[in-house]
Chains A and B, each alone.
Chain A
């Protein structure tokens, strides 16, 4: 979406610099690839995670097809764990059409057993070189006009990929110091990874710390265990930066801007107007379109109604609250873009 001579990339970067944009930008820090950008190429969903060219072209397609104002790679949550030695399942032989890669085997059953060596040569670990290649290709293909987004898991969410979650959660309560040390180590690793993404051409970095919402842990634990790690993480990264936490954040909303990112992203389980009212003067607020029940399953009328309500709430950008589910219809994507473009 080019407006007033500005490219969509200009609009997104200006937004991060604090200039409110009209129309409100519609983009994401998370996966937004659709089958409409994959299937016409003759590719299966499982292929786009392990081939740099396919990843780049799939990532570019949502902006090319619908005017969505970003291109984001990678798509799955296994890059970090894979770089640290976890085996990843790509479901290449599954009978199901779309499954995101997952961690096949965790590194440790308990926080006490957990030990990980952060690779010295991160650029060559796991799929990191592949993702970096994809980002470079993406930058070359659309990077002049479309903002390139990259994302990493938050330290706590990554810990949950590496250690049995049941134990991690209990020990967060019982052995907070042990868990805190693990999070510090993982945070250092994630900073390195995010810096590599930036160097490859990413314009903004999103941190997805979904394990830290109040749907999982208490606001008290968020404040004492998670927030300090996020603060040091964001302090080590150049702007623009986004903190995304899906699930209920109503009780940690005031703490989220303290993490140090320019923007926060929330999902549909939260009230966008309330969020803008409470923290909109401290941080950009992105959200909070229901990426499945509304965008995929909703009628055009429901999408219009929801998107208009979110714009009325005063968000700085429309973001889906999660990855866009790839089977979203072309019509629904167009209704989303059109509703924002014509909003007065």
Chain B
């Protein structure tokens, strides 16, 4: 069993490995988590996820750009792949939920969407990823089929975000309680509100924090049971 100091050191290595997009360091630290009998979920949340939060801050401060963030995400995945099979059932902070996510029809950009998906996966959600260029009706069908709690819509271009209010309307008709989060470069907080979305993410950094906020919202809605 690792001492508190050892645990803190390994957590820090995971975190820094993500921030410095050092996949090898993250993998080695993740193996030590397992070897030392540490809690895998603790390592994911306080090591990998905390690192990614810092990455979001660096992005917001224009120190990191999209390539750097993508490399950090790769490092995070390298750790997640090792740790996730060892998360004990029932230790995911009580969050359970299903999320449908996709880039709207006409848009083939999915980087932002993939980063948001990553955050949901870290938090233990089941993510139904519809990919990119997803027809409007598909979001509704999939949210009903999977009985999901939330639908996340992404658009990179002005020319495609226009379909978002239509999708939100269709979703609400079928399920008035569904949570909808929208994001992508052209979307604004004002537009999101006007369209009746519950959450909004302006860019990769905001997507990360907003995903966490939305998870918190759902946590309030769905107490640990």
Contact = CB atoms under 8 A, between A and B. Distances in A.
Interface of A: 89, 91, 94-96, 98-100, 102-103, 165-166, 169-170, 172-174, 214-218, 221, 247, 251, 291-293, 322-323, 325, 327
Contacts of A91: 105-106
B82 interface: no
B62 interface: yes
Interface in B140-186: 157-160, 162-163, 166, 185-186
B111 A165 contact: yes
Contacts of B66: 169, 216-217
B70 A102 contact: no
Given A94-B135, A166-B70, A170-B71, A293 B188 contact: yes
A interface secondary structure, majority: loop
B71 A173 contact: yes
A27 B111 CA distance: 32
Interface string B185-214: 110101100000000000100000000000
Contact of B67 (A100, A102, A217): A217
A165 B158 CA distance: 19
Contacts of A99: 105-106, 159-160
Nearest to A293: B188
Contact of A291 (B107, B133, B158, B203): B158
Interface of B: 62, 65-68, 70-71, 74, 105-111, 114, 133, 135-137, 157-160, 162-163, 166, 185-186, 188, 190-191, 203
B183 to A, nearest CB: 14
A216 B188 CA distance: 18
Contacts of A102: 106-108, 133
A293 B68 CA distance: 30
30 contacts: A91-B105, A94-B135, A95-B136, A95-B137, A96-B106, A96-B136, A96-B163, A96-B166, A98-B159, A98-B162, A99-B105, A99-B106, A100-B160, A102-B108, A102-B133, A165-B109, A165-B111, A166-B111, A166-B114, A169-B70, A170-B67, A170-B70, A172-B67, A173-B67, A218-B67, A218-B68, A292-B158, A293-B191, A323-B158, A325-B158
A214 to B, nearest CB: 7
A325 B137 CA distance: 23
A291 B162 CA distance: 13
B77 to A, nearest CB: 12
A299 to B, nearest CB: 14
A103 B108 CA distance: 8
B164 to A, nearest CB: 12
Contacts of A292: 158, 186
A325 B203 CA distance: 22
A211 B67 CA distance: 12
Contacts of A166: 70, 110-111, 114
Contacts of A96: 105-106, 136, 163, 166
Which 5 pairs between the two chains have the least Cβ-Cβ distance? A99-B106, A173-B67, A169-B67, A218-B65, A292-B158
B111 A221 contact: no
A296 B114 CA distance: 30
Q: Which of A102, A216, A217, A327 has the most CB of B within 10 A?
A: A102
Nearest to B191: A293
Given A166-B111, A221-B65, 16 more contacts: A94-B105, A95-B136, A96-B136, A96-B163, A99-B105, A99-B160, A102-B108, A102-B133, A169-B111, A170-B74, A173-B67, A173-B71, A174-B71, A215-B203, A293-B188, A323-B159
Contacts of B105: 91, 94, 96, 99
A319 to B, nearest CB: 15
A325 B70 CA distance: 31
B188 to A, nearest CB: 7
A216 B108 contact: no
B55 to A, nearest CB: 14
A269 to B, nearest CB: 9
Contacts of A94: 105-106, 135
Contacts of A98: 159, 162
Contacts of A327: 162
